[in-house]
């Protein structure tokens, strides 16, 4: 097996990437915006547009390269409720919808404790259980219409194969539905009335089924095997789980920045600071923490495409220009703080540098919270941000390796399809001695606010 097509559904974009297993690199990537429709009945993903893009991309890519397997990796906090005919029983809710907060008291009355699930209580629909509770309460006939509930990667696996499953990584992504310590459903499944309707948990690398005959003809791909699929941040862990010895950390960057500490022994996590227990592709609990770093990056940049240089960095350092948390409130290590500049940037270049340093310092705090040790592997777009990786190496005092791939998730998701594991030549990042004082002052300011 050589080439795997990876359907990668992030919160911002939908991608289809071809990954060469022999080199663990993407050879082609197609991208489309991930559109959210306003409703009714609630803000939801445009699944028709997503499906059209996925099919068209697979068809185009398959014309030039033989595709040996297909897998799916998606953001978490998302599931599809299917009726008896296999169609959507309700639109797939956008987890940023605040509606579940309106029923927070009722949900909290049935929500399992953090000690059971490793899921912190999060706003909006970030706890999948809160989404499901809201939908079932708002639509009184929904429970009766629902025959199967599948996690988001497996919805697309179902569209490809007609088979149902739920991957353990998506279940372990702050859903409130999974007990990562016992590898079993939490008590919430029964309380929601969904016991027996939630698709059975499976490992991400198992074969879900074969591409259905209709799609074999439509896409021109033949009887291609389709894997169960995986939660995106956990896909970034896969190549390192298969080839490195613990302890080490992986920082998966995208709309969310997720820090995961493999081999950490301290599980005394603070759920009020968005620390949680993830579940790896091997089914193991992994202490984790996260913040909405990609969204924060885009909000602060505001669409201005400016490259910064050393002169910008020197001015930021000399004047003490700092961005303090949190650009996006309600999650992350400082969920109740409001964004503030200690000094206004004089230029777009200064803003870019200070933003990169801010994101690195937030990531450093996440790593500290989960007892991370050993080298830090940075995956995704922030691996190509020099201000981010240099400050991360400086502030943590640990070895930082920046992945060179275009996406952080696709190679890991693809590796589940074969035995070939090639460690990429990730770039080692050197710390900048002069940034240590800046990092210390930023941390002091955050904890004194």
pLDDT of 92: 98
Whose tokens are 């500490």? That residue is 261
Expressed in percent and rounded to 5, the helix, strand and coil fractions of the chain are: 35, 20, 40
User: Which three-class secondary structure state does DSSP give residue 324?
Assistant: strand
Contact 392, 249 (CB under 8 A): no
Residue 251, pLDDT above cutoff 80 = yes
Structure confidence at residue 253 as a pLDDT band (50, 70, 90): very high
- For range 272-298, the mean pLDDT: 94
In angstroms, the CA 167 to CA 231 distance is 8
CA distances for 236 relative to 22, 97, 254, 377, 411, angstroms: 17, 26, 11, 9, 8
pLDDT in tens, 292-320: 999 999 999 999 989 999 999 999 999 99
User: Which three-class secondary structure state does DSSP give residue 145?
Assistant: helix
Higher pLDDT residue, 217 or 427?
217
pLDDT in tens, 178-212: 999 999 999 999 999 999 999 999 999 999 999 99
Contact 178, 114 (CB under 8 A): no
Strand partners, 257: 253, 291
For the chain, list the domains and their CATH numbers: 3-228 (3.30.420.40), 233-448 (3.30.420.40)
Which of 80-94, 186-200, 240-254 has the weakest average pLDDT? 240-254
pLDDT in tens, 43-86: 999 999 999 999 999 999 999 999 999 999 999 999 999 999 99
User: Which tokens in the block code for residue 413?
Assistant: 């998701």
In angstroms, the CA 318 to CA 312 distance is 10
Sequence-ordered strand ranges (E) for 126-183 = 148-151, 166-167, 178-179
- For range 245-270, the mean pLDDT: 90
pLDDT, mean over the chain: 94
CA distances for 267 relative to 234, 273, 394, angstroms: 18, 14, 26
In angstroms, the CA 449 to CA 443 distance is 10
Which residue, among 24, 12, 45, 431, has the nearest Cα to 242 in the 3D structure? 24
User: Which tokens in the block code for residue 374?
Assistant: 């050993």
- Give one word for 403, left, alpha or beta, with left for phi > 0 and alpha for psi -120 to 50: beta
Torsion angles phi and psi, residue 369, rounded to 5: -65, -30
Dihedral angle, C-alpha 381, 384, 390, 395, nearest 10 °: 10
């Amino acid at each position: 097996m050589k080439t795997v097509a990876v359907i990668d559904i992030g919160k911002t974009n939908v991608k289809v990437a071809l990954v060469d297993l022999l080199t663990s690199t993407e050879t082609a990537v197609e991208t489309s915006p991930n559109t959210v429709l306003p409703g009714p009945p609630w803000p939801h993903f445009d699944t028709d547009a997503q499906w059209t893009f996925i099919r068209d991309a697979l068809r185009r890519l398959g014309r030039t390269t033989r595709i040996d397997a297909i897998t799916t990796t998606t953001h978490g906090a998302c599931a599809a409720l299917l009726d008896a005919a296999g169609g959507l029983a309700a639109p797939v809710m956008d987890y940023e919808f605040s509606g579940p907060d309106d029923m927070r008291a009722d949900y909290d009355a049935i929500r399992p404790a953090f000690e059971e699930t490793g899921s912190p209580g999060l706003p909006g629909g970030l706890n999948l259980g809160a989404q499901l509770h809201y939908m079932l309460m708002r639509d009184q006939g929904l429970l009766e219409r629902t025959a199967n509930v599948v996690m988001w990667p497996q919805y697309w696996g179902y569209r490809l194969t007609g088979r149902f499953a739920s991957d353990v990584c998506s279940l372990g992504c702050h859903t409130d539905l999974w007990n990562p310590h016992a590898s079993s459903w939490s008590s919430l499944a029964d309380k929601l009335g969904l016991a027996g309707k939630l698709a059975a948990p499976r490992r991400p690398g198992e074969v879900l089924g074969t591409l259905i005959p209709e799609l074999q003809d439509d896409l021109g791909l033949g009887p291609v095997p389709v894997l169960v699929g995986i939660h995106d941040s956990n896909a970034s862990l896969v190549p390192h789980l298969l080839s490195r010895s613990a302890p080490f950390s992986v920082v998966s960057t995208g709309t969310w920045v997720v820090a995961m500490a493999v081999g950490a022994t301290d599980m005394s996590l603070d759920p009020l600071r968005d620390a949680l227990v993830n579940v790896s592709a091997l089914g193991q609990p992994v202490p984790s923490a996260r913040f909405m770093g990609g969204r924060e990056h885009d909000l602060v940049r505001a669409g201005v495409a400016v490259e910064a240089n050393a002169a910008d960095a020197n001015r930021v350092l000399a004047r003490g220009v700092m961005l303090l948390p949190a650009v996006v409130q309600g999650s992350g290590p400082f969920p109740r703080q409001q964004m503030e500049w200690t000094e206004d940037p004089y230029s777009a270049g200064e803003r870019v540098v200070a933003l990169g340093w801010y994101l690195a310092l937030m990531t450093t705090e996440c790593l500290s919270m989960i007892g991370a040790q050993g080298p830090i592997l940075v995956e995704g777009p922030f691996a190509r941000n020099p201000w981010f990786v240099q400050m991360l190496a400086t502030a943590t005092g640990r070895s930082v390796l920046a992945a060179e791939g275009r996406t952080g998730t696709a190679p890991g998701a693809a590796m589940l399809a074969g035995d070939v594991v090639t460690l990429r030549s990730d770039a080692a990042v050197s710390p900048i001695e002069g940034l240590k004082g800046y990092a210390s002052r930023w941390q002091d300011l955050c904890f004194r606010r």
